[in-house]
Each structure stands twice: as C-alpha cells, then as structure tokens.
Amino acid sequence: MPVYMLHGFRWPRSGFTGIRVYVVLHNLEDAAAEYIQQPVTSDLLGESLKRTAPQLMARLPALQFIESYDPCDETSNTVSQEYAYVGVRVLTIPDGSSEPEDLAPGETVSDLVEKPGAGLSEDEIKALEELRDMLAPGEKIGWFMVYNGDPERYYPRSDSEDEFDDVDSYMEDRGSTTEAPTEPSTPSTPQTPTTPRSYKAVSQAGSIPISFTIAETAEIKSRIIRSPATRRC
C-alpha cells in the first residue's frame, strides 16, 4: 500500500482533453479509462503518446501514470476518481516507511522538493509543460502526495463474464469445425436432340452448325454435283 510522491500534473478524467475522450479518440479499446495505473492501460497510453507526440515523449522517458485509490472507501466516488496523475519524477514510499525508495545516494526529500523543477533539466521542464498543455490545460505542475492502497486493484471475474467467454469459445469452435456451405451447381442447359429428319452441315464462313431438312440436303448435293467448280482434277 504505497504512497507516491510525484512531480507532474493532474489529468482530469472528463472534459474534451480528459482521459475518457482520449481513450475513445485514439481507439484504445483495451484501456481502462477509470484506472490508468493498470499495467495494460499504462502501456497503451504510453505507446499512444509516443505516436501522437514523439518529440515530447522522447524527452520524458520516466513518465508514469498514477492513481489515487483507497480500498477501504466504499463510496461511489472511489470507483472512479475525478483525476489521475501524470508524473515525470515518481518516488515510492513503501508501507511503514518514511523515506522513498528511489532517492539518489545522499539525496533527501527536502533537497529534492526545494530544487527548481524537481531537478529536471530545462528541456524536460519545457516538455512537461507542453504535455500538460496538450492533456490538461490549466492544471498546475508541482509535487503531489498520492495514496494508493491497492495499485494492482484486482477484482474477481463475475459469473456473467465467464458465461460470455464460454459462449464465445463455443461459437469459435463450432465455426472452425463447420464445413463451409458449397455453392449450388448451376444445372447444365439440356442439349436439343437431333431428329432423324435433319442433318448438320458446316458453313465455310465461320464454322457455324446449320440444320437442313432431307429435301434441302438432296437439293444441295445435286447442285454440288452439277457445279463445275467442285470437280476434282
């Protein structure tokens, strides 16, 4: 149950530049907008900011997202706090301790707080101000003490969630084993049977089958026989 001592700014959850709108606008479907300290959400937000503001994020490598949470508070407000915190210098004070774990050798909390800009370089301070103007315009940059009684904030799965997962798994298995329906075959066009009273000849123009009756065939043969051009040498 640590207490965080961080230098940064508050990020409102509501508003046009707030956390909820940011998650929706950047299609972070797996992000938990109500608790951004959750590891997956922190990673998604960090990767998104690296894409949208790469120059700023390159200058703020130690950026973290911190939430305030008291597991003993059962009021409706504790489910979703009004603000989360964006910190570029985050110190963790373990339970039962009075000193942060991440102080540099010989460094004290008093020295750190008294340093202008929390010991950040001018470039880091400017980058932090630009990020604040992008995510939370008007918010103050400074030191914050934030208590989080359960950083992991684990919650048990409900029976309804398990049922939905079972249904999804069943449908996926069924879809993978079901044979794809075959397209109905197009019935072939029945061929017109030839009748005993007709014969087929082939025209010289385009090899197109033409039908003649018996009488017409006999007339054609007689003309071919009488024609001098058809005599063989």
**Is 45 exposed, middle or buried, given 0-12, 13-18 or 19+ CB atoms closer than 10 A?**
buried
Residue 174 lies in a domain: no
Q: Is residue 79 part of a domain?
A: yes
Does residue 35 lie within any of the structural domains? yes
Q: How many CB atoms lie within 10 A of CB 83?
A: 19
| E strand intervals along the chain | 3-12, 64-66, 83-93, 142-147, 198-202, 209-213
Q: Across residues 174-185, what is the average pLDDT?
A: 57
- The DSSP output letter for 148 is B
Q: Is 122 in the same domain as 34?
A: yes
Q: Which two tokens stand for residue 64?
A: 């973290």
Structural domain boundaries, residue 131:
3-147
- The per-residue DSSP string of 38-93 comes to SHHHHHHHHHHHHHHSHHHHHT-TT-EEE--B-TT--SGGGTS-SEEEEEEEEEEE
Report pLDDT digits (tens) over 59-70: 999 999 999 988
- Please name the residues in contact with 60: beta carbons below 8 A apart, sequence gap of 6 or more: 88, 124, 127, 128, 131
Same domain, 139 and 215: no
- Report, as an integer, the average pLDDT of 87-101: 80
Question: Which tokens in the block code for residue 100?
Answer: 């942060």
**Is the residue at 189 inside a domain?**
no
Share of the chain above pLDDT 90, in %: 44
Q: Which residue, among 33, 96, 93, 97, has the nearest Cα to 65 in the 3D structure?
A: 33
Domain co-membership, 139 together with 222: no
Answer whether 143's CB lies under 8 Å from 118's CB: yes
Based on the structure, what is the number of domains in the chain?
A: 2
Is 75 among the domain residues? yes
Whether 123 is covered by a domain: the verdict is: yes
Domain presence at residue 119: yes
pTM of structure: 0.65
> Which is more confidently placed, 23 or 148?
23
